Amino acid sequence: MPEPSLKTTVLHAHHVALGARMVPFAGYDMPVQYEGVVAEHRWTRASAGLFDVSHMGQARLHGEGAVATLEALTALDASRLKAGRQSYALLLNEQGGILDDWMVSRPDANGFFLVVNAACKDQDFRIIQENLRPDTQFEVLSDRALLALQGPEAKAVMAEVCPAATDLYFMDCGRFELLGERVIISRSGYTGEDGFEISIPNAKASELWDRLLAFEAVKPVGLGARDSLRLEAGMPLYGHEMDETCAPFEAGLGFGVAKTRLARGDVRGQARLAAQKAGALERTRVALRVLSGPPAREGARILSEDGTDIGLVTSGVPSPSLGYSIAMGYVPPAFAAMGTGLNIEVRGKSHPAEVTSLPFVAHSYHRKPKVQER
Amino acid sequence: MRFTKEHEWVRDQGDGTAFVGISNYAAEALGDVVYVELPEAGRVVKQGEAFGVVESVKAASDVYAPVDLEIIEGNPDLGNDPEAVNAVPESGAWFVRARIINPSQLEALMDCTAYEEFLGTL
């Protein structure tokens, strides 16, 4: 039984029945692994993994002021997010520091659908509520589950349960009918694989979970492999690669700041963001390959080759796909060039590492083909 | 074979030396072991003191001396084959061979039956 203070997702009993090891995460009792992190990681890369990410916050924002509300809080050009598309967005404070990272979708022309981090959702929803523009409706969707189906076989499985959703390309989204219920599906995820995220009412989540797990290609995957998969894909995790002291460009998240917004000059923390974009960075996020020794984990010191303390590891894992340890961390820009030799200190000893490029493992997204030039 | 509540085992060889490792339960709980750090020969470690580190994909965990030990050698095979800790934790994947400094400490550790009972309470 979970500690009484922990919340549960609607699929909690399924995880327990599958023999998952449950751990507290962001206030929820969540599955960290079922058969094992490495096996689940490899299964996702080779076939299809099913993730319960219902702990994440879901919300709807619509009405005349929805665009203005989103633009007041994030660096998104919400007016240019077309119906049927999804975008990464950064919730910023007045200094341009990152309060959370979101996926913002426009499943239809009527409004926006937000997915936010579990650990930040109470704060995020309060900030949205406090900053609503006139004629804007905001609704937290606490009655919905979120399932992610990720991996090369995800498309074939989706073709059986919701064929229309396989027409989506990477970062497309829409409303679909699945198990007789209206759902929101996006073609995206947090693994670097092709895949889908499905927002479904809690009442139907069990049925969908079982339906998807009935496919031989699909196995459940816990938060342990979710972390190793996102690390290999070079994706940042809030509270690790970014926090409120950190602005988007130093985090390598410039793609989350719309050029049009910077040009307009009305982004939260505008001056700091413009300076960072122009190159004024004290530190920058780098990808590190550990060349020998123990895995580099969060909090390990990064040293230059002459032993100067230059930064910290923010996440690290022995990569199941690559067979060596990988990490992300922050160093001054002078140490951020590809191939730069560094050391990482673990338990008082230095171990060699080098700066490499992100992602560690190539993404396999189902991207819309570019129109050929004649 | 004797066990600790921290899930180490010690196998007395009867010649003043012993092998020390981690139990099946510990290996299972750790998950996929990817790295093992072992002490230098000659190091003396007190009962309850960390003498090594075992790392899984998820985390690093200390390994504690079940009794006072003087290290003879770390298992040379675990450097290249840390996965052995998951495969054969209570046999081939011993962590260290060591001299037992104070044999009377062994008596206070759990035998197999007592350890099984202890696991039942977890």
What average pLDDT does this structure show over A88-116?
97
Question: Are B109 and B2 contacting, i.e. CB atoms less than 8 angstroms apart?
Answer: yes
Number of domains composing chain A = 2
Q: pLDDT tier at A4 (50, 70, 90 boundaries)? A: confident
Chain B residues close to A36, C-beta within 8 Å: 31-32
Whether omega for the bond prior to residue A201 falls within 30 degrees of 0, making it cis, is no
Above pLDDT 70, what percent of chain A? 98
Interface of A with B in 242-271 (CB under 8 A): none
Residue A322 maps to which CATH number?
Answer: 2.40.30.110
Start-end of H helices in chain B: 24-30, 84-87, 104-107, 112-120
Structural domain includes residue A288: yes
Nearest CA in chain A to B59: A297
Q: Is A318 within 8 Å of B55 when comparing Cβ atoms?
A: yes
**Which pLDDT does position A370 carry in this prediction?**
83
Chain B residues close to A298, C-beta within 8 Å: none
Q: Over the stretch A267-309, which tens digit does the pLDDT of each residue have? A: 999 999 999 999 999 999 999 999 999 999 999 999 999 999 9
Q: Is A37 within 8 Å of B34 when comparing Cβ atoms?
A: no
For helices A223-232 and A37-46, give the axis angle rounded to 10 degrees: 60
Structural domain includes residue A4: no
Structural domain includes residue A217: yes
Residue A374 pLDDT greater than 60, yes or no: no
Q: Is A33 on the interface with B (CB under 8 A)?
A: yes
Q: Is A224 within 8 Å of B35 when comparing Cβ atoms?
A: no
Nearest CA in chain B to A36: B31
Residue A373 pLDDT greater than 60, yes or no: no
What average pLDDT does this structure show over B95-116?
96
Rounded Cα–Cα distance for residues B114 and B111 (Å): 5
Q: Is B60 within 8 Å of A320 when comparing Cβ atoms?
A: no
Rounded Cα–Cα distance for residues A68 and A83 (Å): 16
Nearest CA distance, A199 vs chain B (angstrom): 28
- φ/ψ region of A124 (left if φ > 0, alpha if ψ in -120 to 50, else beta) reads alpha
Chain B residues close to A224, C-beta within 8 Å: 31, 57-58
Residues A172 and A290 in one domain: no
Residue A3 pLDDT greater than 80, yes or no: no
Substitution target from A347, A349, A351 for chain B, most B beta carbons within 10 A: A347
- The beta strand positions in chain B, using DSSP E, are 2-3, 8-12, 17-22, 33-37, 44-45, 50-56, 60-64, 69-74, 96-100
Residue A176 maps to which CATH number?
Answer: 3.30.1360.120
Residue A137 pLDDT greater than 60, yes or no: yes
Q: Is B57 within 8 Å of A32 when comparing Cβ atoms?
A: no
Residue A1 pLDDT greater than 80, yes or no: no
**Architecture (CATH level 2) of domain B2-114:** Beta Barrel (2.40)
Rounded Cα–Cα distance for residues B54 and A370 (Å): 48
Nearest CA distance, A39 vs chain B (angstrom): 9
Closest partner residue to B58 (CB to CB) among A37, A294, A347 is A37
Q: pLDDT tier at A372 (50, 70, 90 boundaries)? A: low
3-state secondary structure of A119: helix
Substitution target from B40, B54, B58, B61 for chain A, most A beta carbons within 10 A: B58
Contacts of B107 (CB under 8 A, 6+ apart): none
Interface of B with A (CB under 8 A): 31-32, 34-35, 37, 53, 55-60
Q: pLDDT tier at A371 (50, 70, 90 boundaries)? A: confident
Above pLDDT 90, what percent of chain A? 97
Q: Over the stretch B5-36, which tens digit does the pLDDT of each residue have? A: 999 999 999 999 999 999 999 999 999 999 99
Substitution target from A346, A349, A351 for chain B, most B beta carbons within 10 A: A346
Chain A residues close to B35, C-beta within 8 Å: 294-295, 318
Q: Is A38 within 8 Å of B31 when comparing Cβ atoms?
A: yes
Q: Over the stretch A63-74, which tens digit does the pLDDT of each residue have? A: 999 999 999 999
Interface A-B, measured as beta-carbon pairs within 8 A, has a size of 38
Chain A residues close to B55, C-beta within 8 Å: 294-295, 318
What average pLDDT does this structure show over B54-77?
96
Q: Is A294 on the interface with B (CB under 8 A)?
A: yes
Residue A164 pLDDT greater than 90, yes or no: yes
Residues A208 and A341 in one domain: no
Q: Identify the CA nearest to A157 among candidates A193, A123, A196, A127.
A: A196
Closest partner residue to A37 (CB to CB) among B32, B37, B55 is B32
Rounded Cα–Cα distance for residues A98 and A246 (Å): 6
Q: Is A37 on the interface with B (CB under 8 A)?
A: yes
Q: Over the stretch A302-349, which tens digit does the pLDDT of each residue have? A: 999 999 999 999 999 999 999 999 999 999 999 999 999 999 999 999
Rounded to a whole number of angstroms, the distance between the first and last alpha carbons of chain B is 20
Closest partner residue to B35 (CB to CB) among A32, A37, A295 is A295
Rounded Cα–Cα distance for residues A316 and A331 (Å): 15
Question: Are A272 and A332 contacting, i.e. CB atoms less than 8 angstroms apart?
Answer: no
What is the number of other CB atoms lying within 10 angstroms of the CB of residue A62? 18
**Domain encompassing residue A46:** 12-55+143-232
Structural domain includes residue A88: no
**Which pLDDT does position A2 carry in this prediction?**
62
